[in-house]
């Protein structure tokens, strides 16, 4: 199928500027009009009618060919537009996929960093808790030791008081029992 520009070029120019160019169809139509070196001959009216019908058919054929070329060009332009949109869509999809992959990688890296950080915090808290527990036990032991020491000191003081009282009572009893019987 010829393109629109080829059809237009073939109509213009050509032999002596007659406008037939390289289009053999137009040459045949022109030759059909010429008979014995002149236009017409025989039954002029029916020949003219046949020639007009032939010209009308050829005109219609050329018009359809030009319209077909226009539609083909439009479909080609539409296909190119769809292809361009598809390419742009694919490129956009690929760019978005790349960004999502980068975000997923960053998120995974951040997640790992958070886990390591949380583990470090948990370890620090466990160490501090252990240190505080040990210090609390030591403090409690010191308090209990002081209480025991105080209790022991109080008990020892009480025992001394009781011993002194017992001695005093024993002395008084020895003095009183000896002195009453001798005297």
Q: Is the predicted pLDDT of residue 160 greater than 50, yes or no? A: yes
Distances from the Cα of 61 to the Cα of 14, 141, 161, angstroms:
21, 116, 144
Residue 135 confidence (pLDDT) = 93
Structural domain includes residue 18? no
Q: What is the arithmetic mean of pLDDT over 3-20?
A: 46
Residue 125 lies in a domain: yes
6-20, 43-57, 86-100, 120-134, range with the lowest pLDDT: 6-20
57: Cα within 13 Å, side-chain hemisphere: 8
Pairing of strands 38-39, 34-35: antiparallel
How many domains would you assign to the chain? 1
Within 8 A by CB and 6+ apart from 7, the residues are: 23, 62, 65, 66, 69
User: Is 73 inside a domain boundary?
Assistant: yes
Side-chain half-sphere CA neighbours of 93 within 13 A: 6
* 4 occurs within a structural domain: no
Q: Is residue 13 part of a domain?
A: no
pLDDT for res 21: 53
Q: What tens digit of pLDDT does each residue of 105-128 get?
A: 888 888 888 888 889 899 999 999
Does residue 29 lie in a domain region? no
| Partners of 39 in the β-ladder | 34
Question: Which pLDDT band holds residue 7 (cuts at 50, 70, 90)?
Answer: very low
For the whole prediction, is pTM greater than 0.75?
A: no
| Model confidence band, residue 20 (pLDDT cutoffs 50, 70, 90) | low
Is 69 among the domain residues? yes
Write phi, then psi, for 35 (nearest 5 degrees).
-140, 120
Which domain range does residue 174 map to? 42-182
How far, CA to CA in Å, does 114 sit from each of 108, 111, 123, 127, 170?
Answer: 10, 5, 14, 20, 81
Residue 31 included in any domain: no
């Amino acid at each position: 199928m010829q393109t629109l520009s080829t059809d237009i070029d073939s109509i213009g120019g050509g032999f002596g500027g007659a406008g037939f160019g390289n289009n053999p169809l137009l040459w045949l139509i022109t030759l059909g009009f010429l008979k014995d070196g002149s236009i017409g001959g025989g039954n002029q009216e029916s020949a003219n009618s046949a020639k007009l019908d032939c010209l009308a058919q050829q005109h219609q054929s050329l018009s359809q060919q030009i319209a077909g070329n226009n539609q083909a060009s439009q479909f080609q332009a539409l296909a190119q537009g769809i292809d361009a949109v598809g390419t742009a869509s694919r490129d956009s999809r690929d760019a978005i996929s790349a960004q999502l992959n980068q975000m997923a990688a960053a998120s995974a890296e951040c997640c790992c960093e958070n886990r390591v950080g949380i583990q470090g915090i948990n370890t620090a808290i466990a160490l501090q808790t252990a240190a505080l527990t040990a210090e609390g036990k030591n403090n409690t032991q010191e308090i209990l030791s002081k209480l025991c020491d105080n209790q022991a000191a109080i008990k020892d003081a009480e025992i001394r008081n009781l011993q002194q009282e017992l001695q005093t009572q024993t002395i008084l009893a020895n003095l009183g029992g000896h002195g009453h019987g001798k005297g």
